[in-house]
Structure formats: structure tokens, C-alpha cells
Amino acid sequence: MTPDRDTGARQALSGRRAFLGLAATAVGGVLIAPGIHLMEIAQAAVPGASAAGANPRVHWGLLIDTTKCATGCDDCVSACNTENGLDPRPSPTSAQWIRKVEIKEIKTGRAQSLPVMCQHCAEPPCVDVCPTGASFKRADGIVLVDRHTCIGCRYCVMACPYKARSFVHEPLTGQKPDVPRGKGCVEGCTLCVHRVDKGGSPACVAACAKAGHHAMLFGDLNDPASAISIRVRELATSPLRADLKLGTGVRYQGLG
């Protein structure tokens, strides 16, 4: 091989290499660009949207004054059913996110009535056992089911000490736009996240207050100045099954 062809070959090679490098960069850019464009669009906020969402400094809680809870009153249950589009007729397969429970102490005969819903534990057993991570705890303490990931294995239903979870046994229609729910997934009280995220309170609390009973109080347990924090600091309140030490967000006043 003559020296001319050698250098010529080497020049051609480096020229090709440069071209390939450029082409690879260009192809890489072309591949990534749509993704960046996608993320731009997705993250672009609409003015007025609740961009904040779940605030990790907040810990939402519920305080239920059982002395103000009357047997036969189910305003909270009706409100929840209406807000979330649940079937109000109770049946063994109906989803009940909140229910009124009548209890009577066996030894003394003292009877009480109170609502029971997802207790939004700080250490939720349902979150521990979910195989896909669909049952999760939000940064602000609300325990939810991501129904895009739920496979309907019902392990969380087995694990929950409070019977908070329901399984959807049949195809559903007419869902509320803010509360998507469907057959084959597990669900439970969401503390009305769709309302809370917009600065509101759960439907049950709103209904109880609207009817004048004021048995339910919703607020931020991490804020020492909130009404609920003041109440739980001054009055005797307790979680259900305190022995399990789950750190529930829901507390009850007036239970023995």
C-alpha cells in the first residue's frame, strides 16, 4: 500500500468516525426529544390547579366525638355514598367506605354508636402487604389505593384490622368524575382527597357539621394551632385497637 493511500484511508476513517459520532448524537437527540417534550407538557401547570398536592409537612387527621353520635343517625354514611358514588344499599358485597357501628360493652351494658372508616394509619398493615404497592400512604398521611396498579388480590382486605377495605364485586357505571372506581379493584375511605386537595374537608365531616351534630372534626395533626390538635391535646381521645400501635390518623373521643 502506498503512503498516499494510507493517509487517505486514515483520513477517510476519521471522517467516517466523525460522521458516525455526529449521527449517533443526532439520533440520540431525536429519540430523547419527544420524551422531554412530553415531560414539559405534562408538568406545565394550569393556573389555578392545585400544584401543591400532598404536603409532607401536613398530617391529616379526624377526631370523632362519640358522645355526639346518635344511634340511627347516618348522615356521614349518606354523604360519603353520595360524594363517592357508592351504592347506598348495604349487602355482603357492597362497598362501604364508612359505616355506623353500634357497640355495647358486654360487662356493663353501656351502648354507643360511632362511625368507622379507614383509620389512615401511620404504619398501615395494608401498605405492608400489598404486592404491587398499589396500597400506599401519601406524604400527608392519607392512605389510598392506586387503582391503576391494584391487581385485586385482596391481601389488604385480609390485613386491615379495621375492615376498612372493600372489594368491588361487579362492573360499575355512573362513577363520579372525581372518584374513579371499578370492578376487580380494592377501595376504601380516601378522606375525600379530591376535596382535601382543593382545600376542603371530607364529605362526612361536612355533612355532620351541616346537620348540626358537630361530631366529626377534620384537620392537620401536625399543626399545633389547628382545632383538632388543640382538642386532642386537651381531651382524652384514643385510637381504635391502640394495642396495635398503628399510629392512626383517626381518633375517637368518649370511648371507654
Select 64 or 127, whichever has its Cβ closest to other proteins: 127
Looking up cell 404497592 gives 133
How many residues contact other proteins, by CB under 8 A? 115
Q: Binding other proteins by CB under 8 A: which of 63, 64, 143, 206? A: 206
Q: Taking contact as CB under 8 A, which single stretch among the options 10-18, 19-27, 62-70, 173-181 is the one that binds other proteins? A: 173-181
Pair 191, 62: CB distance under 8 Å:
yes
Is 144 strand, coil or helix? strand
Select 4 or 234, whichever has its Cβ closest to other proteins: 234
Q: Binding other proteins by CB under 8 A: which of 65, 219, 250, 251? A: 219
For the chain, the residue count is 256
Longest dimension (CA), the chain: 110
Select 5 or 169, whichever has its Cβ closest to other proteins: 169
* 211 vs 215: CA distance, rounded Å: 10
Looking up cell 500500500 gives 1
* 100 vs 207: CA distance, rounded Å: 14
Q: Taking contact as CB under 8 A, which single stretch among the options 10-18, 25-33, 62-70, 143-151 is the one that binds other proteins? A: 143-151
161 near other proteins (CB under 8 A): yes
Please state the φ and ψ torsions of residue 246, each to the nearest 5 degrees. Answer: -90, -5
Pair 120, 249: CB distance under 8 Å:
yes
Select 15 or 105, whichever has its Cβ closest to other proteins: 105
13 near other proteins (CB under 8 A): no
Select 27 or 151, whichever has its Cβ closest to other proteins: 151
At its nearest, how many Å lie between other proteins and the CB of residue 95?
7
Those residues with Cβ within 8 angstroms of residue 174's Cβ, 6 or more apart along the chain or in another chain: 85
Q: Taking contact as CB under 8 A, which single stretch among the options 8-16, 23-31, 62-70, 170-178 is the one that binds other proteins? A: 170-178
180 near other proteins (CB under 8 A): yes
